[in-house]
C-alpha cells in the first residue's frame, strides 16, 4: 500500500470515529429538557439590560483595574528579578513562586477576608479588594513574561545605549522596555484573557446588586428563575470579550513578531 | 606619524583583564594622542575587542588604569556616563535601536544625555547624517537599511555626541563585501578631518593606508607596534609575519 493510500485510509477512520461520537451524543441527549433548562428565551430576555450595563461593565472594570495593578507590580518584580542586588532578586523569586503556586480562588479568599481584617482602618471597599486580589494573581505571571521579554532584547542594544552615555536606568526606560513590550504584547494580551475569566471569582466575596459582575449576576438569576439559561448568557458575554482579545493577540504577534532582533 | 605633543587622549597603564581563570589581557600599556588613527590587528581571541571595551568600561578591567581625556575611567567614583559621552563606539553588529527611526537613533542620547533642545539635536542629526552620506534616510527605519547603511548610521549616531575619540570594533566584519567600501570611505574621511580613532580591523589595506600606527596583538599582549608601513609592510616579530601571511593569503 502506498504511503498516500495509507494516510487517506487513516483520515477516513478518524472521520468515522468523530461521526460516531457526535451521533451518540445527539441521540442520547435529552434535547427537550436541555432546551428548557439552558435556552429559556424568556429568562434570557429578563437579564437585559442589567447583564450588559451592570455585570459586563463590572467584569471589564475589575479586569482592567486588576490588570493595571498587576502590570505595575509585574514591571517592578521583573526589574527586581533581574537586579544585581541579591535581596531584591530573592524577594522577587519568593513572591513569584508563591503567587504562581496558589490557585486564584485561594488568593481571592485570603485577600477578600484577610485584607479588611488586616487593615480595618483603611475602610477598604470591595472594589479595592478585588483589584488587589486580581492584581496579585496577574502580577506573578506577568513578571515572568516581562522578565523573558527584557532578556530577549539583545545585549548589544544596552551596550550601544551605555556607550552613548545613558545610565543603566535610562537605557532600560528608553531602549530596553519599549523593545521588550513589543515582544510581550501578545502574551500580555493572553494574560488579560485569563484575568477576564479569573474576575469571575469576585462572586465569592459577595456583592451588592450594583457590584455584580457576570458570574455573580448569573448565580443570582439562577436562584430567581430556576433555569440554567443565565449561564449561557454570561458564557456568551465572556466569549464576546475573550475572542476579540485572542484575535488581537494573534494580530499583535504577526505585527511585532519580528521586532526585537537586532536591526 | 602625527606629532605626539601634549597629554595623550587615552593612556592605558598596566591593564589586565580576566574572565574567571581566563586571562584575556595582560599588562597592556600605551597611549593614543589627539588626531591619531591607531589600528589594532591580531588573531581571533587575542583580546582586541576586550581592550577596546575596557577603554569605555563596557568591560571592567581586573587591574590597571585607563585615563581618557583626563578622566580616570577606572576610578570607581568617576561619572562614567559623562565620561562615555566623549567616547564614540561603533560595533561589529551596528546595534542601532531597532524600535526607533534613524532620526531618533541620532537624537535620543543628545536629548536625554546631553540635554540638547529638540531643534539642536535635529540639526546635529541632519548634519552628521550628511557626513556619512545618508541624508535621505533620516526618517527610515533601521530594519529597512542595508548593513552598510546601518553601520554608517551607527557612525553618525556616535558622531552626534561630538566625541573626542571614536572606537571601532571590526566595523566592516558583518558586511557583505560590496558594502565594505562605503563604510571604510566614511571612516577615512573622518580620519582626514582629524578625528582620533582606534580601529580594530581585519582590513589590512585600510590599516596600511589610513593608520598612523598599528598594534599587533596576540594572546592578550601587544606583540608589536609601530607605523603602519613597518608593522604591516615589514614586521619584525615572527608572530606578526605569520599572522599577516595568513590574512593576506587566506587560501595558501
Ligand atoms: N564576556 C566574556 N566572558 C567570558 N569570556 C570572554 C568574554 N568576552 C571575551 N571573552 C574571551 O576573551 C578572549 C578574547 O576575546 P576578544 O573578544 O577580546 O577577542 P578578539 O581579539 O576581539 O577576537 P575576534 O577577532 O574574534 O573578535 C576570548 O577567549 C573570549 O572567549
Ligand atoms: Mg572582537
State how far Cα A61 lies from the chain centre: 13
> So what's the pLDDT on residue B4?
65
Q: What percent of chain B stands above pLDDT 70?
A: 98
- Pick out chain A residues at pLDDT < 70: 257-263
Distance from the CA of B16 to the center of ligand 2, in angstroms? 17
Task: Categorize the per-residue pLDDT at B81 as very low, low, confident or very high, splitting at 50, 70 and 90.
Answer: very high
Give the burial string for B150-163 (b: 16+ CB within 10 Å, else e). Answer: bbbbbbbbbbbbeb
Nearest CA to ligand 1 atom 24: B44
B102 → chain A, closest CA residue:
A263
Q: What is the DSSP letter of B187?
A: H
C-alpha cell of residue B76: 570607581
Three-state DSSP class for residue B11: strand
For residue A229, CA distances in Å to A29, A49, B245 come to: 17, 15, 85
Q: Residues B207-249: pLDDT tens digits?
A: 999 999 999 999 999 999 999 999 999 999 999 999 999 988 8
Cβ contact, residue pair B96, A263, below 8 Å: yes
Q: Residues B90-114: pLDDT tens digits?
A: 999 999 999 999 999 999 999 999 9
Distance from the CA of B54 to the center of ligand 2, in angstroms? 12
Find out whether the beta carbon of B201 lies less than 6 Å from any atom of ligand 1.
no
Q: Which of B95, B114, B158 lies nearest to residue A157, judging by beta carbons? A: B95
Cα A195 to Cα A139: distance, rounded to the nearest angstrom: 11
* Residues A142 and A190 sit within 8 Å (Cβ to Cβ): no
Q: What is the pTM of this model?
A: 0.86
How large is the ipTM? 0.95
Task: Categorize the per-residue pLDDT at B5 as very low, low, confident or very high, splitting at 50, 70 and 90.
Answer: low
Cβ contact, residue pair B81, A263, below 8 Å: no
What is the residue whose three cell numbers read 528579578?
Answer: A81
Type and span of the H or E element at B94 = none
Count how many pairs of residues, chain A against chain B, have C-beta atoms within 8 Å: 81
Three-state DSSP class for residue A229: helix
* Residues B180 and B172 sit within 8 Å (Cβ to Cβ): yes
Cα B36 to Cα B197: distance, rounded to the nearest angstrom: 6
Find out whether the beta carbon of B35 lies less than 6 Å from any atom of ligand 1.
no
> So what's the pLDDT on residue B2?
54
Distance from the CA of B49 to the center of ligand 1, in angstroms? 7
Cα B208 to Cα B228: distance, rounded to the nearest angstrom: 5
Cβ contact, residue pair B96, A174, below 8 Å: no
Cα A170 to Cα A168: distance, rounded to the nearest angstrom: 5
Cβ contact, residue pair A179, B93, below 8 Å: no
Kindly list the residues from chain B whose CB atom is less than 8 angstroms away from the CB atom of residue A259.
Answer: 98-99
Q: Which of B93, B94, B161 lies nearest to residue A165, judging by beta carbons? A: B161
Distance from the CA of B125 to the center of ligand 2, in angstroms? 28
Task: Categorize the per-residue pLDDT at B79 as very low, low, confident or very high, splitting at 50, 70 and 90.
Answer: very high
B89 → chain A, closest CA residue:
A163
Cβ within 8 Å of residue A68, ≥6 positions away: A135
> CA torsion A129→A131→A137→A141, rounded to 10°?
-160
Cβ contact, residue pair B84, A262, below 8 Å: no
> So what's the pLDDT on residue B41?
96
> So what's the pLDDT on residue A35?
85
Short-list B124, B138, B13, CA closest to B63: B13
* Residues B30 and B222 sit within 8 Å (Cβ to Cβ): yes
State how far Cα B34 lies from the chain centre: 14
> So what's the pLDDT on residue A257?
61
**Closest-lying ligand to the alpha carbon of B59?**
1
Atom of ligand 1 at shortest range from CA of B170? 27
Cα B172 to Cα B147: distance, rounded to the nearest angstrom: 9
How are beta strands B165-169 and B196-200 bridged, if at all? parallel
Amino acid at each position: 500500500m502506498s504511503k498516500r493510500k495509507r494516510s487517506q485510509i487513516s483520515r477516513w477512520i478518524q472521520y468515522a470515529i468523530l461521526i460516531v461520537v457526535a451521533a451518540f451524543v445527539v441521540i442520547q441527549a435529552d434535547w427537550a429538557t436541555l432546551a428548557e433548562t439552558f435556552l429559556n428565551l424568556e429568562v434570557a430576555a429578563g437579564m437585559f439590560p442589567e447583564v450588559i450595563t451592570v455585570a459586563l461593565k463590572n467584569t471589564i472594570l475589575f479586569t482592567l483595574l486588576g490588570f493595571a495593578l498587576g502590570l505595575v507590580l509585574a514591571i517592578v518584580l521583573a526589574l527586581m528579578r533581574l537586579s544585581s542586588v541579591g535581596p531584591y532578586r530573592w524577594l522577587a523569586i519568593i513572591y513569584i513562586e508563591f503567587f504562581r503556586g496558589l490557585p486564584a480562588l485561594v488568593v481571592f479568599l485570603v485577600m477578600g477576608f484577610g485584607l479588611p481584617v488586616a487593615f480595618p482602618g483603611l475602610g477598604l471597599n470591595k472594589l479595592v479588594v478585588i483589584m488587589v486580589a486580581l492584581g496579585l494573581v496577574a502580577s506573578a505571571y506577568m513578571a515572568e513574561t516581562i522578565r523573558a521579554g527584557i532578556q530577549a532584547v539583545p545585549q548589544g542594544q544596552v551596550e550601544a545605549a551605555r556607550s552613548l552615555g545613558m545610565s543603566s536606568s535610562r537605557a532600560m526606560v528608553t531602549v530596553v522596555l519599549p523593545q521588550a513590550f513589543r515582544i510581550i504584547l501578545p502574551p500580555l494580551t493572553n494574560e488579560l484573557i485569563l484575568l477576564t475569566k479569573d474576575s469571575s471569582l469576585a462572586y465569592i466575596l459577595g456583592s451588592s446588586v450594583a457590584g455584580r459582575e457576570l458570574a455573580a449576576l448569573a448565580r443570582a438569576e439562577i436562584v430567581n428563575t430556576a433555569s440554567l439559561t443565565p449561564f449561557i448568557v454570561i458564557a456568551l458575554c465572556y466569549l464576546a470579550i475573550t475572542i476579540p482579545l485572542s484575535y488581537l493577540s494573534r494580530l499583535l504577534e504577526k505585527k511585532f513578531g519580528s521586532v526585537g532582533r537586532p536591526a | 606619524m602625527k606629532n605626539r605633543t601634549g597629554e595623550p587622549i587615552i593612556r592605558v597603564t598596566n591593564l589586565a583583564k580576566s574572565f574567571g581563570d581566563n586571562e584575556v589581557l595582560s599588562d597592556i600599556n600605551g597611549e593614543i594622542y589627539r588626531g591619531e588613527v591607531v589600528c589594532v590587528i591580531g588573531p581571533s581571541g587575542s583580546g582586541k575587542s576586550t581592550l577596546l571595551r575596557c577603554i569605555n568600561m563596557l568591560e571592567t578591567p581586573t587591574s590597571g588604569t585607563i585615563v581618557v581625556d583626563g578622566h580616570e575611567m577606572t576610578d570607581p567614583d568617576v561619572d562614567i556616563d559623562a565620561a562615555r559621552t566623549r567616547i564614540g563606539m561603533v560595533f561589529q553588529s551596528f546595534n542601532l535601536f531597532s524600535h526607533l527611526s534613524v532620526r531618533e537613533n541620532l537624537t535620543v542620547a543628545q536629548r536625554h544625555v546631553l540635554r540638547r533642545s529638540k531643534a539642536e539635536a535635529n540639526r546635529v542629526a541632519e548634519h552628521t547624517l550628511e557626513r556619512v552620506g545618508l541624508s535621505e534616510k533620516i526618517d527610515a527605519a533601521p530594519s529597512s537599511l542595508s548593513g552598510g547603511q546601518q553601520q554608517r548610521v551607527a557612525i553618525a549616531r556616535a558622531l552626534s555626541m561630538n566625541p573626542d575619540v571614536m572606537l571601532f570594533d571590526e566595523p566592516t566584519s558583518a558586511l557583505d563585501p560590496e558594502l565594505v567600501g562605503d563604510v571604510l570611505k566614511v571612516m577615512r574621511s573622518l580620519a582626514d578631518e582629524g578625528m582620533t580613532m582606534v580601529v580594530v580591523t581585519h582590513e589590512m589595506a585600510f590599516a596600511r593606508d589610513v593608520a598612523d600606527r598599528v598594534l599587533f596583538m596576540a594572546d592578550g599582549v601587544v606583540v608589536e607596534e609601530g607605523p603602519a608601513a613597518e608593522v604591516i609592510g615589514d614586521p619584525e616579530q615572527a608572530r606578526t609575519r605569520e599572522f599577516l601571511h595568513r590574512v593576506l593569503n587566506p587560501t595558501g
